[in-house]
Amino acid sequence: MQKINVQLDSSKAQGTDAPNLVVILGTGGTIAGTAESASDNVGYRAAQLGVDQLLAAIPALSPYQLEAEQLAQLDSKDMDFPTWQKLALRVQAHLARPEVAGLVITHGTDTLEETAYFLQRVLAPRKPVVLTAAMRPATALQKDGPQNLLDAVRVALDSEARGVLLAFAGQVHGAEQVRKVHSYKVDAFASVDGNRLAWIEEGHVRWLSQARLMSEPMGTELLASLDCEAWPKVDIIMNHVGATGSIVRALLVQGVDGLVVAGTGNGSLSTELESALREAQAKGVAVLRSTRCDAGPVTSSADALPSAGTLSPVKARVELLLNLLQQKLAIQVGRKQ
């Protein structure tokens, strides 16, 4: 793992006992992407520049004490379990350092909300872990990455910030509620079914709401207990006009541990899809019912398949994955006793 010390005039940030070091973990994404032409906002390659290059391009970061580490270099459409495992362990190790005030993670926008939710559930950190990203590459005429990265550092140093957050387009969102809601606009994220937590105004973080769901951390022992290849296989399927049970049955043949279904409306399912899911459940597959709607919960009822509550299908998948990992771990521990 490449580790880079970026000490951009740290002297200005000293003289206080409060932790003031921000660790920046680079994972790639469009924020580190480059295009051949400055006018090209879509025909670029993500994950080309190192995190040290991203930081060096922002003179306004010079008053801050920063340490940078290139943890991965990928387009987040290819985010994977080994990178998640490494990321959670590195974040945990840095958070344990008394001099660290918080962390910033540069990430692609495509799967950012999944990584954010994963880190929140595993670590539930008391210090801030601030993800940030960009919709335009680093070569764009009007790039959004540098401002987002600068804002993320400021959020990481804010005394009221805690937990896994996203600093993006002048707003701060929580891991539980944030979703990518636009494929192209620079302002691409929103807090669904809740408020954004803060906005960032000329470097000042203005908190709007501190009502956060602070779950208990699941802990990283969970992640280290099994090789990533042995992590549970959880897939997402969707209800739609004419949905049958054929995909569920094909997955049962292949082998699957959990299924999240993105139902219609309040988690409704076609009769055929529902009966295939009940067959899967009877064979020991864990099933969670979410909605393909952009917002809103799926209400629970005793005679329906289990509800994912307010979780989107992708976050319900992370939740189910972690729950199944916990069950596997409990079985392993039980066998050893």
Residues with a catalytic annotation lie at 30
Q: Is 77 in the site for ligand ASP (CB under 6 A)?
A: yes
At 5, phi and psi to the nearest 5? -95, 115
Separation CA 250–CA 256 (nearest Å):
10
- Binding-residue total with ligand ASP (CB under 6 A): 11
Which residue has tokens 């932790």?
19
CA dihedral 155, 158, 159, 164 (to 10 degrees): 10
Residue of the chain from 100, 135, 259, 285 that contacts ligand ASP (CB under 6 A): 135
Residue of the chain from 29, 128, 263, 267 that contacts ligand ASP (CB under 6 A): 29
Structure tokens that stand for 129 in this block: 């872990």
Minimal distance, residue 51 CB to ligand ASP, in Å = 14
Residues 6+ apart with CB under 8 A from 131: 104, 105, 106, 107, 112, 115, 116, 152, 164, 165, 166, 167
Q: Is 182 in the site for ligand ASP (CB under 6 A)?
A: no
Q: Is 26 in the site for ligand ASP (CB under 6 A)?
A: no
Q: Which stretch binds ligand ASP (CB under 6 A): 70-78, 239-247, 262-270, 276-284?
A: 70-78
Encode burial over 193-203: b for 16+ CB neighbours within 10 A, e otherwise. Answer: ebebbbebeee
Encode burial over 117-136: b for 16+ CB neighbours within 10 A, e otherwise. Answer: bbbbbbbbbebbbbbbbbbb
Residue of the chain from 70, 109, 307, 310 that contacts ligand ASP (CB under 6 A): 109
Q: Which is nearer to ligand ASP, 75 or 274 (CB)?
A: 75
Q: Is 77 exposed, middle or buried (0-12, 13-18, 19+ CB in 10 A)?
A: exposed
Minimal distance, residue 99 CB to ligand ASP, in Å = 30
Q: Report 43-62 residues binding ligand ASP (CB under 6 A).
A: 46
Closest CA to 235 of 277, 183, 189: 277
Q: Is 108 in the site for ligand ASP (CB under 6 A)?
A: yes
CA distances from 138 to 31, 135, 197, 238 (A): 6, 10, 27, 36
CA distances from 278 to 252, 321, 336 (A): 12, 19, 33
Structure tokens that stand for 3 in this block: 């580790």
Minimal distance, residue 189 CB to ligand ASP, in Å = 11
Q: Is 319 in the site for ligand ASP (CB under 6 A)?
A: no
Minimal distance, residue 323 CB to ligand ASP, in Å = 26
- The number of C-alpha atoms within 13 Å of 171 and in the hemisphere containing its C-beta is 17
Q: Which is nearer to ligand ASP, 36 or 201 (CB)?
A: 36
Q: Which is nearer to ligand ASP, 133 or 156 (CB)?
A: 133
Minimal distance, residue 82 CB to ligand ASP, in Å = 17
Q: Which is nearer to ligand ASP, 46 or 259 (CB)?
A: 46
3-state DSSP helix/strand/coil percent for the chain, to nearest 5? 35, 25, 45
Q: Which is nearer to ligand ASP, 133 or 223 (CB)?
A: 133
Residue of the chain from 76, 83, 92, 191 that contacts ligand ASP (CB under 6 A): 76
Q: Which stretch binds ligand ASP (CB under 6 A): 102-110, 209-217, 237-245, 260-268?
A: 102-110
Q: Is 185 in the site for ligand ASP (CB under 6 A)?
A: no
Q: Is 114 in the site for ligand ASP (CB under 6 A)?
A: no
Which residues of the shown chain bind ligand ASP in the complex (CB under 6 A)?
A: 29-30, 46, 75-77, 108-110, 133, 135
